[in-house]
Structure 1
Amino acid sequence: MFYLYFYFIITLLFNYIHLVQCLLSGTSSYKSYYANTKLYYAGSNDFFYIDLTNLPLNENTVIDSSKWIQLNYSIILIRPFLGGKANDKFFFSSFAFVGNSNEVFLETFDTTLNKWDKDINFTGKPSKYFESFDDWVSDKNTGKVYSLQQGDVIDIFDTVNLVWTNSSLVPQVYQDYTRLLRPTYDPPQVILPNGQAPSIRSGYTAVLTSDGRIIIYGGMSNNLAATPSIVVLNTSTYEWSTPTEANPIGPLASHTSTIVDNYMVTSFGIIVTKKNLDRGPNKNVYKLDISNPSTYKWSILSTFNDNSTKPSKSPFPSPSTSPHTSPSNNLTTAIGVTTSILLIVHFIFWWVVII
């Protein structure tokens, strides 16, 4: 019985630690996706979309946040992935206990039918230490998604046939990395790119364009804005380059980015300044025209208006609970709740074992 209680508490603790990491980094941990001409955003406590139907991105139309459409949900929203035959379904995975791959559950949201389906049956099972808050990368051609997990394991899920497998062909453990998949790439050997590689950074995004460019944007290095803010790797020639930025929006970190046609859409995160305490939340959605490989142009796509009449709740927490408050407040909250959880663990151990 004690081990059952222990697993339960540890599961709560692991999930809370992940949440605290989001709070301390100053980001609401949104992940963006593009499906059925809509921009979807999934956060730890929010799920909404911006409808881009009949809205050419080459125009200067700015979408007010009153047009952000809230989606109802009854689950914890942790790192979904897109899949299905038409690549139009969100898959949400959750687990009952850490280290128990038999207790993983799937739910889907169909973006075409706007419909939730619960308790999806699948064959196979995840790796032993599968964590649902790790990122996934999708292969639209095969419908398979991949996630690098603990223990040097890649979890593979076939979203068309609903089959879960895993592979241990991972050379080493990585930290602060980005997952990208180029489906048509099969190199006979490891190739090192030419040119000036980007500086070591965290909190950045990397996207893959249809013509094989990897665009790295933003992030932090040594607690400052990483420079240059945009670095590009051409996967055909394996050369790094730094394009010119027109109308730069300033450095961001812990944001989210996704590709929509010839644009990279970048949203939310924190505004990185010279002083750590001056950082604030970015509440806007920007688009970057990447059609010209040598010059990228920024413009605004959507703005968050605190005073607008919104049809649904704001995707940003109220000021009293905002994750973008000062680091000291976040740290105090983190220490307080973590201490409480440890006291609960101690009490359960004393009650079960001693008594």
Structure 2
Amino acid sequence: MSLNSIIIIILIIILNHDINAKTIPRDAPTANIIGNKLYILGGDVMISDGSYQPTNDFFYLDVTNIPFNNTLGRISWTDITHLGKMPANSWAASALGGKNDSIFLFGGQMEPNEENALVYVFDINKQEWYEPKISGNPPLRRRNFGAVNDNLGKMYIFGGTADKYTGYPNTTDFNDMTILDTVHLTWHEGTKEGAPIPRTSYAVTILPDGNIVYIGGIQKSTDGTYEYVDMSEIAIYDTIHDKWSTMIAEGEIPGIRGEHTAVLTPDGRIIVYGGETKHVAAFPQLCVLNTTTKPFTWSLPESFNPIPDLWLHTATIVGNYMVVAFGFSPTHGRTSDVYILDLSEENLYKWSVLFMTQGTVAMKQTDGSCYEYVIPNSKETIGTTIAMLLGGFGAGVCVAASGYIIYNIKRLNNTLDQL
């Protein structure tokens, strides 16, 4: 193992524990990019009795310097929860609205549902939340769905579920297309003709031509049973002509899944990551749908330094990178980890770790060999592990690194004592 690799591992431990007090593991939050800031809202977090409930946490990450090559894993979330009295929320959907200067949050599980508005808006310029007055017929509150916005300020909301978690005694699944005009604050309904049967847990993105692409998820059949949607079956909603269609994609078809994410690259690739199939990680986790071909074409590329399996995470496109944050890992549970995937090369997908609280880091060396390192989660194991890593190396290595390491161990212990 090289000295550089040792230093990287130690820095991951030190720097991430320094941030650990500010970020709480969660799944089912929302994420939006406005300007150079990635905003994260809500999600389910663990409380003192070991159960999970929604939170009103609201914070952002400045992504100006992505991919953070010179930060060695140090990222800093800015907490702005104090900017408004938002209710606790999870399993909601959000999209940009107005003049792309606002975040519109719709539906989801809120605490308590009956006392809260269906839509909340965060004004970026005024730095405040408010409840908009929207005319028209509002839809029922729902969860486990997605939303996208077009260039005209319209937010498209499809499917989802209303149940006890959204304030309804009976479970109802939807296949309606609800359109919120965020500029004129009016509700509209899209056509149901040709629409998919009721669906949840899908991934969605919108293409430059105004077509919305729905991938995977779980659908409710006419006999009342639930099944995963085949990944070759791509549902498309044409926002220009208010029309539904279905395309059968070709290529290497990935396994069925729900609770995954999808982002669109500038060159027309939809990058799908994560998901679960009956509470087991979907395979493969990384899939690519090429929308420049007709029909669309799936591929299953390998990735360099793959990250843990995830679902109920967020994925956001930032230039030539996809930022994946939070979610549920079958090996680590709910997480606050943050990763980036380099999308600049069509046939080469490279992952980097921005922030990891605990778990396994896979490090690939220049000769192609790999080793794994488990990030500890207590100051006792940290001290022991650092000693073991340095053991076996020459005195010169220890002298060269000792001053920096001792300083940061002291700073680390002070931080951990405060947690």
Regarding TM over 0.5, the answer is: yes
- Of 329, 348, 362 in structure 2, the residue corresponding to residue 295 of structure 1 is 348
Distance in 2 separating the partners of 1:131 and 1:164:
14
- Of 239, 249, 254 in structure 1, the residue corresponding to residue 307 of structure 2 is 249
Runs of 4+ that moved beyond 6 A: 305-309
Tell me the CA shift for residue 58 of structure 1: 6.1
Distance in 2 separating the partners of 1:139 and 1:106:
15
- Report the structure number with the largest CA radius of gyration: 2
Residue by residue over 1:197-237, the C-alpha shift from the partner in whole angstroms, topping out at 9 and shown as x without a partner, is 11012332222222221111122235433222211110111
Distance in 1 separating the partners of 2:151 and 2:353:
31
What secondary structure sits across from 2:316 in the alignment?
strand
Q: Which amino acid in structure 2 is aligned with residue 111 of structure 1? A: I
Is 1:204 equivalent to 2:215 in the alignment?
no
Q: Which amino acid in structure 2 is aligned with residue 260 of structure 1? A: V
Q: How many residues align?
A: 273
What secondary structure sits across from 1:198 in the alignment?
coil
- Of 58, 70, 73 in structure 1, the residue corresponding to residue 80 of structure 2 is 70
Is the contact between residue 216 and residue 232 of structure 1 (CA under 8 Å) also seen in structure 2? yes
Tell me the CA shift for residue 108 of structure 1: 1.6
- Of 162, 180, 184 in structure 2, the residue corresponding to residue 157 of structure 1 is 180
- Of 198, 202, 206 in structure 2, the residue corresponding to residue 181 of structure 1 is 206
What secondary structure sits across from 1:32 in the alignment?
strand
What secondary structure sits across from 2:156 in the alignment?
strand
Query: Equivalent residue for 2:272?
Result: 216
Is the contact between residue 26 and residue 336 of structure 2 (CA under 8 Å) also seen in structure 1? no
Alpha-carbon RMSD across the aligned residues, in angstroms, is 3.4
Aligned-pair identity (%)? 34
Distance in 2 separating the partners of 1:171 and 1:159:
25
Tell me the CA shift for residue 64 of structure 1: 4.1
Going from structure 1 to structure 2, the CA distance change for 1:202 and 1:152 (only over 3 Å counts) comes to closer
Residue by residue over 1:272-316, the C-alpha shift from the partner in whole angstroms, topping out at 9 and shown as x without a partner, is 34xxxxx4333211100011111110012234598999xxxxxxx
Tell me the CA shift for residue 258 of structure 1: 1.2
Going from structure 1 to structure 2, the CA distance change for 1:250 and 1:110 (only over 3 Å counts) comes to same
Q: Which amino acid in structure 2 is aligned with residue 202 of structure 1? A: G
Going from structure 1 to structure 2, the CA distance change for 1:93 and 1:137 (only over 3 Å counts) comes to closer
Going from structure 1 to structure 2, the CA distance change for 1:35 and 1:253 (only over 3 Å counts) comes to same
Residue by residue over 1:157-200, the C-alpha shift from the partner in whole angstroms, topping out at 9 and shown as x without a partner, is 01111111123412422243223222404599643111121101
Is the contact between residue 204 and residue 218 of structure 1 (CA under 8 Å) also seen in structure 2? yes
Going from structure 1 to structure 2, the CA distance change for 1:194 and 1:114 (only over 3 Å counts) comes to same
Going from structure 1 to structure 2, the CA distance change for 1:94 and 1:217 (only over 3 Å counts) comes to closer
Is the contact between residue 243 and residue 293 of structure 1 (CA under 8 Å) also seen in structure 2? no
Superposition map of 1:1-355 within 5 A: 27-43=26-42, 44-45=54-55, 46-53=57-64, 55-57=65-67, 59-62=69-72, 64=74, 66-72=76-82, 73-76=84-87, 77-78=89-90, 79-93=92-106, 105-117=118-130, 119-127=131-139, 130-149=140-159, 150-169=173-192, 170-184=195-209, 185=211, 190-237=246-293, 238-273=296-331, 279-303=332-356
Is the contact between residue 139 and residue 183 of structure 1 (CA under 8 Å) also seen in structure 2? no
Residue by residue over 1:115-135, the C-alpha shift from the partner in whole angstroms, topping out at 9 and shown as x without a partner, is 223x322221213xx125354
Is the contact between residue 105 and residue 120 of structure 1 (CA under 8 Å) also seen in structure 2? no
Tell me the CA shift for residue 140 of structure 1: 3.5
What secondary structure sits across from 1:254 in the alignment?
coil
What secondary structure sits across from 1:123 in the alignment?
coil
The higher-RCO structure (CA 8 Å, 6+ apart) is 1
Going from structure 1 to structure 2, the CA distance change for 1:188 and 1:126 (only over 3 Å counts) comes to closer
Is the contact between residue 62 and residue 300 of structure 1 (CA under 8 Å) also seen in structure 2? no
Distance in 1 separating the partners of 2:202 and 2:244:
23
Going from structure 1 to structure 2, the CA distance change for 1:302 and 1:39 (only over 3 Å counts) comes to farther
Going from structure 1 to structure 2, the CA distance change for 1:155 and 1:66 (only over 3 Å counts) comes to same
Distance in 2 separating the partners of 1:188 and 1:200:
22
Q: Which amino acid in structure 2 is aligned with residue 122 of structure 1? A: I
| Structure 1 unaligned blocks of 5 or more | 1-25, 274-278, 310-318, 320-355
Query: Equivalent residue for 2:366?
Result: none
Q: TM-score, normalised by structure 1?
A: 0.67
Q: Which amino acid in structure 2 is aligned with residue 254 of structure 1? A: L
Is the contact between residue 145 and residue 201 of structure 2 (CA under 8 Å) also seen in structure 1? no
Tell me the CA shift for residue 80 of structure 1: 4.7
Question: Which structure shows the bigger proportion of residues in strand conformation?
Answer: 2
Q: Which amino acid in structure 2 is aligned with residue 296 of structure 1? A: Y
Going from structure 1 to structure 2, the CA distance change for 1:62 and 1:254 (only over 3 Å counts) comes to farther
What secondary structure sits across from 2:351 in the alignment?
strand
Distance in 1 separating the partners of 2:244 and 2:314:
32
Distance in 2 separating the partners of 1:114 and 1:136:
25
Is the contact between residue 339 and residue 352 of structure 2 (CA under 8 Å) also seen in structure 1? yes
